[in-house]
Structure 1
Amino acid sequence: MDDEDRIALLIDYENLALGSRDHLGVPFDLRPVADALAERGRVVTRRAYADWSYFDEDRRMLTRNHVELIEMTQRMGASRKNAADIKMAVDAVETAYERDYITTFAICTGDSDFTPLVHKLRELNKRVIGFGVRDSTSTMLPPACDEFLYYDDLDGVVPAGAEDTSSRGSGRKGRGRGSSAKGGGSSAPTQEPEPTEDADDGGEDATDDSAPDLASLVAQTVSGLQRSSGGAVTASVLKRTLVRKDSTFSEAAYGFRAFGELLEHLSGRGIIDLSAGPAKGDPEVTLPEEGGRPEAFALLRQTVSELDDGGGVALSGLKDQLRTRREGFSEKPLGYGSFLQFAKGADAAGLVQLRRKGSGYVVSAP
């Protein structure tokens, strides 16, 4: 564990919450941010700064994700913005000096006022990862960070107008080989009152992948690790990351005696590839070079060609159309966190064209 990055997560909550609501049309959810950080290190501090009287409904989501809520109560007529910014900056610098074991700061905001803080943290030999909503992020902030991730692009973030069945619900399904199981990346609590672990919300089909099955969970995690590290993903690194995403993760819950047996099972199904790693008993894990993507992209293109009347096909509801043609279709075992990202992949491959239209997305054949 000594070679792991230790991360302090500091959230300018008003900036992110309003940015997500105003520009994406959906409430802010911490889970995509937490999953992205789990692929980069161990989060040891989580703090969010706001006048919580304005975000009362968000408290439950944050506390369930073990975030310390820093109250910034304001007097009538006072500037709410500056007090939270100053307190967050002071805490960040104090933490950098007093806790030298923290190697990385995750600063969640799009406000350019935090640019001097980023420069100071890097001057103190701390790595800085920024998070912000694309349309509400200052152009000054991303270049100042070592890495900047737009919230819009994180796995699990689906803007309004691009919803698909995979983005709904937070219930956990039953465990076991081949069955839906608990998903560290998609079992985040929502802002709905008192969700239950076995609840299936909205009457969605029982095969809905709102909680990823084992193949989806592992494929998404491997994909995220490959993007974030750019290097080899070993079985030991994969197991640590799965546990970071969900501290209750255990291969025994899926019916396997050892993690290596779980990986062999998924390798036999063509979900992952295993090869010799740097140490005996610690193989390298990768996604298959093709892994079913050509067939999935071809299915998307064929479906769009059949439905397109010249104005494009709305992305919302398109996944259901694919499922009528291929029962049980899901993009998650291919390593995509959402159907929107799957469509972006097909667009990048030149097989379809994806574009914004109003508050949503439309897909058309090239």
Structure 2
Amino acid sequence: MTEIHPHQRVAVLVDAQNLYHSAHSLYSRNIDYSSLLDKAVSGRELVRAISYVIRADSPDEERFFDALVDIGFETKIKDIKTFGDGSKKADWDVGMSLDAVTLASHVDTMVLCTGDGDFSRLCSHLRHEGVRVEVMAFKESTADELVEATDAFLDLSERQDTFLL
């Protein structure tokens, strides 16, 4: 595992849908993405910041996507899929994982902003490759296996004044 040092190269990958739903179900508030990125980088060298978002044709979502770009995120946008039975699906688990594996050789630390336990195997793989893995999410809605698979976990709930609008 890589130790923290001033010239550490960091990538920040944000599962925006996961954070949005957690923040709204727990606190009925939105995420402060600027503070999230600042804390994730913590004075280190930012290599990439990617926010994975879902286009659901909601009001103001294009403004939200533009705001993410203004903050410093690259946005990857996927349209929500509606099936014949009316059910809807959209997630970025595979795309986010592929990006993390691709970026692993270019960074010392990968910061994953999600509480989704599906990423625990990714964390184990990245750590095996010598990449430090940090997770930022709300503890109440974060899978235990994800917390256990990381080098560091930052509970956004403990600093609501910083990470929520």
**What whole-Å deviation, never above 9, does each CA across 1:269-290 have from its counterpart, x for those lacking one?**
xxxxxxxxxxxxxxxxxxxxxx
Q: Does 1:41 align with 2:44?
A: yes
> In 2, Cα distance between the equivalents of 1:14 and 1:158?
16
Total equivalences in the alignment: 154
**Does structure 2 retain, via aligned residues, the 8 Å contact 1:50–1:72?**
yes
- Gap change, CA 1:126 and 1:16, over 3 Å in 2: same
CA contact (8 A) 1:8 1:105 kept: yes
1:218-257 to structure 2, matched below 5 A, reads none
Secondary structure of 1:17's match? helix
Question: Which of these residues, 65, 68, 80, is aligned with residue 74 of structure 1?
Answer: 80
1:21-61 CA-to-partner distances (Å, cap 9, x unmatched) read: 11122111112222213425122201111213356142233
Separation in structure 1 between the aligned mates of residue 108 and residue 57 of structure 2, nearest angstrom: 32
Instruction: Specify which structure has the higher proportion of strand.
Output: 2
Could you say which residue in structure 2 is the equivalent of 1:16? Answer: 19
For 2:140 and 2:42, how far apart are their aligned partners in 1?
Answer: 25
Q: Retained in 2: the 8 A contact 1:33–1:154? A: no
Gaps of 5+ in 2: none
Q: 1:128 — aligned with what?
A: 133
Q: What is the CA–CA distance in structure 1 between the aligned matches of 2:40 and 2:125, rounded to whole Å?
A: 21
Give the aligned CA root-mean-square deviation in angstroms.
Answer: 2.2
Going from structure 1 to structure 2, the CA distance change for 1:40 and 1:125 (only over 3 Å counts) comes to farther
> Which SS does the other structure have where 1:88 is aligned?
helix
* Structure-2-length-normalised TM-score: 0.83
Corresponding position of 2:64: 58
Q: Which runs of 4+ in 1 moved over 4 A?
A: none
Task: State the TM-score, normalizing by the size of structure 1.
Answer: 0.39
Q: Percent of aligned positions with the same letter in both sequences?
A: 24
Displacement of 1:155 in angstroms is: 7.0
Q: Which protein shows a greater Rg? A: 1
Correspondence for 1:95 among 88, 103, 127? 103
Mapped contact 2:10–2:41 kept (Cα < 8 A): no
Change (3 A) 1:157 1:68: same
What residue in structure 1 maps to residue 149 of structure 2?
144
SS of the counterpart of 2:81? coil
Q: Is the partner of 2:11 in helix, strand or coil?
A: strand
Superposition pairs of residues 178-257 of structure 1, within 5 angstroms: none
Give the whole-Å Cα distance in 2 for the aligned partners of 1:54 and 1:14. 14
Q: Which residue of 2 aligns with 1:324?
A: none
Query: Where does residue 86 of structure 1 map in the other structure?
Result: 94
1: CA distance, partners of 2:125 / 2:138: 23
List per-residue Cα deviations over 1:311-358 (Å, max 9, x = no partner).
Answer: xxxxxxxxxxxxxxxxxxxxxxxxxxxxxxxxxxxxxxxxxxxxxxxx
Structure 1, gaps ≥5 residues long: 160-189, 191-366
Q: Aligned partners of 2:24 and 2:53: how far apart in 1?
A: 16
- Residues 292-318 of structure 1 show CA distances to partners (whole Å, capped at 9, x for unaligned) of xxxxxxxxxxxxxxxxxxxxxxxxxxx
